[in-house]
Amino acid sequence: MKKMLPAIIFLLFITGSQFAMADAIDWNTLTPAQQKVLQPFQQQWSQLPEEKQLRLSRGAERWANMTPEQRQNAKQRFQRWRELPPDQRELLRARFEKFKQMTPEQRAALRKKHQWYRNLPPEQRKKMKQRWDDATPEERNEMRERIRSMSPEQRQQIRQHWMQKPMH
């Protein structure tokens, strides 16, 4: 049970759900599945802030509904998170906060771009990353502005052109 706790906490962090303050949740109103997952919190449950109780109870519900494979994936993601240096974790937290501030449409567009990138062949992703890493901050800003002002068709053409350019 204690092995699942870090994964649950990580899931709560990555979901980024913001909950309105609600009445405190009595331990006895939790489902048996939630109580099982949250057992390490039982002694301190009544002292936890209402928002944390709500986040934990919802996280426990999600955990209980996961397949064994999903749980394993969550544990692996949490392990990778724990292995990151503190400055990298802080950077990711800041990016996540920025993501939470986006509109649903902006988030959907970002997810779509990310999926497009993940679907590229590994050598193309490597080439794109290298090109970005080699660019100066000014060149990066110029690329961003140029791409923002393009139509979707123009963006696709520039991506194809960018991928065909020889590396330095």
**Average pLDDT, 10 consecutive residues per value, the chain (168 residues):** 58 48 80 91 93 92 92 92 94 93 93 89 90 92 86 80 61
Q: Which residue has the tokens 């919190």?
A: 41
Going by the DSSP 8-state scheme, the letter that residue 105 receives in this structure is: H
How many C-beta atoms surround the C-beta of residue 49 within 10 A? 10
Instruction: Determine the distance from the C-alpha atom of residue 35 to the mean position of all C-alpha atoms in its chain, rounded to a whole number.
Output: 26
User: Is there a contact between 71 and 4 (Cβ–Cβ < 8 Å)?
Assistant: yes
Q: Which residue has the tokens 């913001």?
A: 18
> pLDDT at position 6, please?
57
| pLDDT reported for residue 3 | 60
Indicate yes or no: pTM above 0.75: no
- pLDDT given for residue 144 in this prediction: 85
| pLDDT in the model for residue 19 | 43
